[in-house]
Amino acid sequence: MLRRLRRVPSVLLPLVLLGTLAACGNDTGSDASSGPLSAVSISGDPGKAPEVSWKQQMETTGIQSTVLHQGDGPAVKDGDSIYANFWIGDGYTKKKAYSTYDTGQPQLIKVDSSSLSPVFKEAVEGHTIGSRVAVTAPADKAFGPTGNPNLEIGNKDAVLIIVDLLSTVLDGPQGAQKPAPAWAPKLETKGDAVTGLDFSKAPKPDGKLHSAVLIEGTGATVAKGQTITVNYLGQVYGGKKPFDESYSKGQPTSFGIGTGQVIPGWDETLVGQHVGSRVLLAIPPKDGYGKQGQPSAGIKGDDTLYFVVDILGAH
């Protein structure tokens, strides 16, 4: 991944998401006024950071989930990709341990039975988009026998996880096909994946920033400051192969848009597009990597960059 194409979040929680954890039975749909959740008061609107007030230390022996707010979106299934925010608290110290709300960017989560932790899977699978779900569990069942030292959660502590299910992410572009402009190279594809660009009949770049919608999605409009999820391929004009792409990796990438996390040509052209769209970009040096280029990727200071971008989600 090229520098300034994506900024990787500085804090990740692999021990929350990985499926190497042991899971005992669960008690779904428990009453928030009884059981472990009786130790806290949770308020606030879904989509915003929850307000958690501790009444007493939390105790729990198993994994329990409670729907605090029922969303009206589709139910999340195994194999889906979703945006979610989550809040983690330590029921022994009665303190917040981590919150994605603090970073301002939701997490992209693949709901995969083979890799997602049972605790987190309990919080998302089967619940509807728009829901807020609370899950309680002993730390050794949530994180393993040592608890989570990185979050200062002991192995005997009770853990509270609050998850807001925000939106789903598409598997590929969805919408009406649009004719390619005269400046466009030919796309080489395999199924929904773009494998390369053929410049044999494309005119020389004119030094201007261009964008064209090849598939017009019908999803939400991308707004400045959102996190978007995309598949993409980049190739310099006349290049024989891509200098970077995500299609073959089996996992799209996410980043903030319109805020300088990516090259200027992306910020300027992708804001205002619709989720589900496939967009073709021609980006001159001044809107890409400048006169210095990106030597590590074989990009010279006078190269025009061409990108295909499939916008799969935005939140």
Domains and CATH numbers, the chain: 14-168 (3.10.50.40), 175-314 (3.10.50.40)
Mean pLDDT of all residues in 65-82: 93
207 pLDDT band (50/70/90 cuts)? Answer: very high
Amino acid at 40: V
**pLDDT: which is higher, 30 or 58:** 58
pLDDT at position 143: 87
33 pLDDT band (50/70/90 cuts)? Answer: low
In the predicted model, is pLDDT for residue 298 greater than 60? yes
Which region among 14-18, 101-105, 131-135, 158-162 has the lowest average model confidence (pLDDT)?
Answer: 14-18
Q: Which residues pair with 90 in a beta bridge?
A: 95, 159
Q: pLDDT averaged over the chain?
A: 88
Query: What are 230-281's pLDDT values in tens digits?
Result: 999 999 999 999 999 999 998 899 899 999 999 999 999 999 999 999 999 9
Query: What are 108-155's pLDDT values in tens digits?
Result: 888 887 777 888 888 999 999 999 999 999 999 888 899 999 999 999
What share of the chain has pLDDT > 90, as a percent? 76
Amino acid at 132: R
107 pLDDT band (50/70/90 cuts)? Answer: confident
Question: CA–CA separation, 83 vs 169, rounded Å?
Answer: 7
Q: How far apart are the first and last CA of the chain?
A: 22
In the predicted model, is pLDDT for residue 13 greater than 90? no
Residues with Cβ < 8 Å from 131, sequence gap 6 or more? 46, 67, 68, 69, 70, 71, 73, 164, 165
- Number of helices followed by number of strands (H, E) in the chain: 4, 18
Mean pLDDT of all residues in 47-54: 95
pLDDT at position 56: 96
- Give long-range contacts, CB 8 A cutoff, 24+ apart: 104-109: 105/9, 105/227, 105/256, 106/166, 106/227, 106/315, 107/83, 108/81, 108/82, 108/83, 108/169, 108/227, 108/229, 108/252, 108/254, 108/313, 109/17, 109/81, 109/82, 109/83, 109/84
What share of the chain has pLDDT > 70, as a percent? 89
Mean pLDDT of all residues in 214-227: 95
Query: What are 169-187's pLDDT values in tens digits?
Result: 999 999 999 999 999 999 9
Question: CA–CA separation, 160 vs 58, rounded Å?
Answer: 9
pLDDT at position 267: 97
Smallest CA-to-CA distance from 163 within 235, 89, 255, 218 is with 89
DSSP H or E run through 14: helix 14-17
- Give long-range contacts, CB 8 A cutoff, 24+ apart: 203-208: 204/237, 205/237, 205/282, 205/284, 205/304, 207/284, 207/304, 208/282, 208/284
pLDDT at position 2: 46
pLDDT at position 32: 58
